[in-house]
Chains A and B, each alone.
Chain A
Amino acid sequence: MRYRKAAYRRAPISRLTLLIAGLLGCVFCLAWNVLHDRRQHEQPPDRFGFGRPATQHEIDSEAIAIAPDGLGLPPGQGDSAIGAPVYKLKCAVCHGATGREGPFQKLVGDTGKTKTIGNYWPYATTVFDYIRRAMPLNAPGTLSADEVYGLTAYLLSANRIISPKTVLDARTLPSVEMPAKNYFIAHDSIWKPQ
């Protein structure tokens, strides 16, 4: 009974002490945290310095993309006469004897709804780029530069875009004008907020 009473009377004092101690603690914690935070989470640097410099050799052997202005086109050349036998041997089985039959993508033709190199491709450089990187489907990346120039010439002349005699190389290919070139417009979306 006495013990409880005494404890009860002393309580206000201890509460005040506790409060002050608590406040001090909070201030200390906050200050420590701020300092600690600064040390732990520094502003990210502009550069981390990860990765290693690429060699020119690496870039040259990996950068196979061809731009419409011809950037990236390799040395070499080819015409329809070089391309025709390669087409027959490595492409006809999937794209048809003349490029119109399928069973897969039709590569020749400028009529009807079928979209082909002849009526839908805006740049001749894309033909070279795509054949070299992705065809033939069962062995992509195995054609020589001359073969790809030849196949490109073969398909462009089959589509009546160039004459069968035209020799394609890094200089002549980018200058081939494609019928579909001016039909393409860059579109964000035709559906605008209403």
Chain B
Amino acid sequence: MVTKRRTIGGVLPILGTLTAALAFLPAPVRAASEYNLPYGVTPISHAVYRLHMLAFWMMCGIGVVVFGLIFYSIVFHRRSRHPVPAKFHENTVLEIVWTIIPFFILVVLAVPAARLLLRMENLRHPQLTVRITGYQWLWRYTYPRYGINVYSRLSNPSLASVHYGRHLSPYAVPHYLRSVTHPMVLPTGEKIRLLVTGGDVIHAWWVPDFGLQVDGNPGLINAMWIKILKPGVYRGACNQICGWGHGYMPVVVVAKPPAQFLAWVRRWRAAHHGPGAGDFTPKPL
């Protein structure tokens, strides 16, 4: 039966493709990856990464068992090898086993997830508060303590490329669609409370390296906290469809050590509130 053989042979490539694709996922590599979650730069993003990898490997394990059984059956229980079908159609013990075992596997995942969630939601004792407001289509970052108000929109080189009729290769634009006019500047090492809201419609503030995103709902405020461990530039984007320019409102955060952050605060105040404004006493928290 040539046709039969061809069918079975055909099952191999698809399972092969799938496992090959799975193997593609790198083991815990910590560099930014084209294929996996970033390890990130906050304690939370590290924990999220570990939870993600735990879940991923557990799913792979279940996959090996389930797909292995299916594959075995496809090969060994096809009619040409197994012409007389068995007759069984129930087995209470087996059915109880495959109800209980998945349940415990899920508990193994749910416990660390719940603990991490409680940690993420612990907003006590922030050292700095920044208000984030999404608009169609830009972000506003307000630092109440320092009287600073930064508007952040897509930078001109990206815009030029996006602009119809002007063709500038996206590869020629530095950080195409992920660069802004004025980035958000934050200190490293401090527990920063983010208060996120929407100015017109719902937006979502997302920086993968920080391990989280927060919806900005008009009229409501969401709170989250981050603690950036490494100075650097971190890029993300709006993640809730908000109209024409949804793809064009990136988030860029520049994280500086506290002293340099304060220097930035002084420069900003001097530039926007007049030369004397650089020296000031921050408002209480």
A binds B: no
A contact set with B: CB distance below 8 Å: none
